Amino acid sequence: MRGDSRSSEPKVGGSSLSVKLATTYAILVAATLLVVAGLAIHLTRRHLDAALDSQIVTTVESFQRGPARSIEEPDDLRTAARGWLATQAFPQGQVVAVRLAGDEVLESAGGLELRPLPNADELLVSAESRWWQLSGAEGSVRAISVPLRLGDRQIGTLAVGASREPLTETLSTLLTGIGWASAVGLAFATVLGLAAVRRTLRPLARMSAEIETIEQTRSLSRRLAHEGPQDEVGRLADAFNRMLGRLDESFNTQKRFLADASHELRTPLTVVRGQLELLSEEFA
């Protein structure tokens, strides 16, 4: 019986205290992992978006440093743009288009197509430099439009777009990896936390078993055994032992008082009983 009670754990509200503490610990770890995962995804997305924008800007600067400087007449734009588009190796998923006079458009070969995208015509006739966020059948596209000017006259438009699908796939892969790693880490942390909590609460479980034994045997002379450090559990054991000592002393005092009172009252009661017996004989 006592061995079974020693193996029990402290109960709070009908459930194990160690399980409640481990559950709270797991919730805190899960919340921390969610915050870390959210920050990691946010920072990675910002970094990838910045890298994509930098890639697009690099293409624009390449055109401005090359063909744009050699244009002296509006008709020179067609020759310069065609030669530049034919010799450049653009990154995968990027499209470059140059709108000429008469709405003629020269576009880089292969990869992403600009014309099927919504607002593509508006982008190609833009009179100001601006960023665009387009969505088409191939997914989201990040683009920029740069007007090409000769003096005060706009002779065309340079448009550079890049698909955001590789970024989305990278973020999806990262999110999946973080999800699996977080799940494994949470399970591992929960198991370790439960083991640590149970080890920490072991003295309380032992004290609970000893208290139950004292209650069952009604032996107030027994004391809780605690050989650990004088932490909260140690101070609780000492306080409980002091309380048991005071209760034991109080009950012993009551027993002595009752014994003395019984002894003192025994002779008078005997006399009274004898007198009552004599009276009963006289009246009989």
Residue 216 contacts by C-beta under 8 Å, 6 or more apart in sequence?
A: none
Residue 114 contacts by C-beta under 8 Å, 6 or more apart in sequence?
A: 95, 97, 107, 120, 123, 124, 143, 159, 161
Beta strands in 100-221 (DSSP E): 105-107, 130-136, 139-150, 153-163
Band (pLDDT 50/70/90 cuts) for residue 86 is confident
Distance CA 266, CA 204 (A): 48
Beta strands in 41-93 (DSSP E): none
What average pLDDT is seen over the chain?
A: 81
pLDDT confidence of residue 11: 56
pTM assigned to the model:
0.67
- Beta bridge pairs of residue 106: 98
pLDDT tens digits, one per residue of 224-247: 776 766 777 777 777 877 887 788
pLDDT confidence of residue 10: 57
Distance CA 134, CA 154 (A): 24
Residue 5 has pLDDT above 80, yes or no: no
Q: How far is CA 170 from the centre of its chain?
A: 21
Band (pLDDT 50/70/90 cuts) for residue 15 is low
Average of per-residue pLDDT across 170-190 = 92
Tell me the range of 134-138, 189-193, 219-223, 265-269 where mean pLDDT is highest: 189-193
pLDDT confidence of residue 2: 42
Average of per-residue pLDDT across 93-104 = 85
Residue 13 has pLDDT above 60, yes or no: no
Least confident of 3-17, 29-43, 98-112, 195-209: 3-17
pLDDT tens digits, one per residue of 18-67: 788 888 889 999 999 999 999 999 999 999 999 999 999 999 999 988 88
Average of per-residue pLDDT across 58-80 = 87
